[in-house]
């Protein structure tokens, strides 16, 4: 199957898509600042609270969510722990694993940010959906394979 010829409209939609994503990320960073957090700290708190499984997330779990190397994740956790946002706990079943939990302060800040983001995400999703609805026939919608 040969790739189709991209049109100017395709490039315009891709530009708008990337611009909207960057606007959302900038907005999110600004919201994190209102809680005296960096964007990375906000994502760390979300990775810990949003982790699903029988145990709290390990450092490796969080590194995977954040798409960071282990040592970079440890540095981020060190700073968040010093700020009173997270705490480390040794896994009682496997003492070589460190599990992460939010402190009350970390949870309070995450709740404040999450309430704002829950309201903003549908606006972003609507914009993204309308951009992809305009794609020419014969292209695929990301994530659907159709």
Q: Is 2 helix (H, G, I), strand (E, B) or coil?
A: coil
Question: What is the crossing angle of helices 70-82 and 59-66, to 10°?
Answer: 110
| 99: DSSP letter | E
**Per-residue confidence (pLDDT) for residue 143, from 0 to 100:** 47
**Per-residue confidence (pLDDT) for residue 112, from 0 to 100:** 97
How far apart are alpha carbons 81 and 10 in whole angstroms? 45
For domain 9-133, the CATH architecture is Orthogonal Bundle (1.10)
Residue 126: its H or E element: helix 104-133
**Per-residue confidence (pLDDT) for residue 135, from 0 to 100:** 63
**Token match 């606007």: residue?**
23
- As averages over each run of 10 residues, the pLDDT of the chain (146 residues) reads 85 91 96 97 98 96 98 98 98 95 98 96 86 62 45
How far apart are alpha carbons 63 and 48 in whole angstroms? 11
**Per-residue confidence (pLDDT) for residue 28, from 0 to 100:** 97
Q: Is 88 helix (H, G, I), strand (E, B) or coil?
A: strand
Distance of CA 144 to CAs 30, 85, 136, Å? Answer: 32, 37, 16
**Per-residue confidence (pLDDT) for residue 140, from 0 to 100:** 47
Domain ranges of the chain: 9-133
């Amino acid at each position: 199957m040969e790739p189709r010829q991209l049109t100017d409209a395709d490039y315009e939609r891709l530009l708008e898509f990337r611009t909207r994503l960057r606007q959302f990320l900038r907005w999110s960073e600004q919201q994190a600042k209102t809680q005296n957090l960096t964007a990375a700290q906000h994502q760390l708190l979300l990775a810990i609270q949003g982790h699903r499984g029988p145990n709290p997330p390990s450092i490796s779990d969080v590194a995977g969510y954040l798409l960071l190397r282990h040592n970079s994740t440890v540095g981020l956790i060190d700073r968040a722990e010093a700020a009173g946002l997270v705490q480390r706990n040794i896994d009682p079943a496997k003492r070589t694993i460190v599990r992460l939990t939010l402190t009350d302060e970390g949870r309070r800040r995450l709740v404040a940010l999450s309430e704002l983001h829950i309201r903003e995400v549908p606006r972003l999703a609507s914009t993204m959906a309308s951009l992809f609805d305009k794609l020419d026939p014969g292209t695929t919608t990301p994530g659907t394979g159709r």
